[in-house]
Amino acid sequence: MKQSYEKIFENNKKWVESKLAENKDFFKTLSETQTPDFLYIGCSDSRVSAEELMGMKPGEVFVTRNIANVVNTLDMSSTAVIQYAVEHLKVKHIIVCGHYGCGGVKAAMTPQDLGLLNPWLRTIRDVYRLHQVELDAIADEQKRYDRLVELNVQEQCINVIKMAVVQEQYLVDEYPVVHGWVFDMRTGKIVDLEIDFENILKDIQKIYNLTKSDWVMSRKNNKNFK
């Protein structure tokens, strides 16, 4: 166990050496600031690494991860990350990325008491409840499981769009745009669920319109004046 732990520091040393060999100012530049265009909301699964599957470099993706890529507005961690990414980093895209074979989604499909996991998994079970007719009509258990993974991503995208900071920033700057992806570990490919962000935003604003109209108009006017 100690050996596997110490290997991390060996790997880090080799990584530092390789980066300096490519660019002697790599860490100087890295430490100055971050200007990512992407916020990635993903699953904590150890097999799914955001930057690696996206082919991105350090500083290009702002990342938050939790069990089954859930966006719950009562979870201060995810809401704080989204607020910071949108308001301060000015990200252009928010990606909610699930993955086939997700243990959290599978646990949510299982009717059993899982202790402290119950409140967290309830969000995914709510997704099942909303789409129960469609899901129960899928006879193949694996296909039903995969479909719930996709539906969970879609519903978490909607939870992101409900947030005031996302609505307000989009009305002013026409970004960020919210995307739903699923990573297929069986092929290594990203599946774009092609979330219709603009139409979803229009639909939910009838109920979840949280924008401060005076603030939005003021921001727009200041932007146009500049």
| Active-site choice (25, 37, 43, 214) | 43
| Active-site choice (45, 97, 146, 179) | 45
- Pick the range with the lowest mean pLDDT from 47-56, 100-109, 111-120, 201-210: 201-210
Residue 45: give the domain boundaries.
32-225
Residue 78 lies in a domain: yes
Report the b/e string of 199-210 with b at 16+ CB within 10 A. Answer: ebbeebeeebee
Please indicate whether residue 157 is annotated as part of the active site. no
Residue 73 lies in a domain: yes
Taking alpha carbons only, the member of 120, 181, 195 closest to residue 149 is: 181
Domain count for the chain: 1
Residue 59 lies in a domain: yes
Strand 38-43 and strand 93-99: pairing?
parallel
Please indicate whether residue 43 is annotated as part of the active site. yes
Local structure of 4: helix, strand or coil: helix
What CATH number is given to the structural domain containing 70?
3.40.1050.10
pLDDT tens column, 135-190: 999 999 999 999 999 999 999 999 999 999 999 999 999 999 999 999 999 999 99
Q: Looking at per-residue confidence, does 33 or 125 come out higher?
A: 125
Please indicate whether residue 45 is annotated as part of the active site. yes
Please indicate whether residue 47 is annotated as part of the active site. yes
Taking alpha carbons only, the member of 31, 95, 78, 34 closest to residue 59 is: 34
| Beta strand residue intervals within the chain, DSSP E | 38-43, 61-66, 93-99, 177-184, 189-192
Is the pLDDT reported for residue 25 higher than 70? yes
pLDDT tens column, 32-88: 889 999 999 999 999 988 999 999 999 999 999 999 999 998 899 999 999 999 999
Residue 115 lies in a domain: yes
Q: How confident is the model at residue 4 (pLDDT cuts 50, 70, 90)?
A: confident
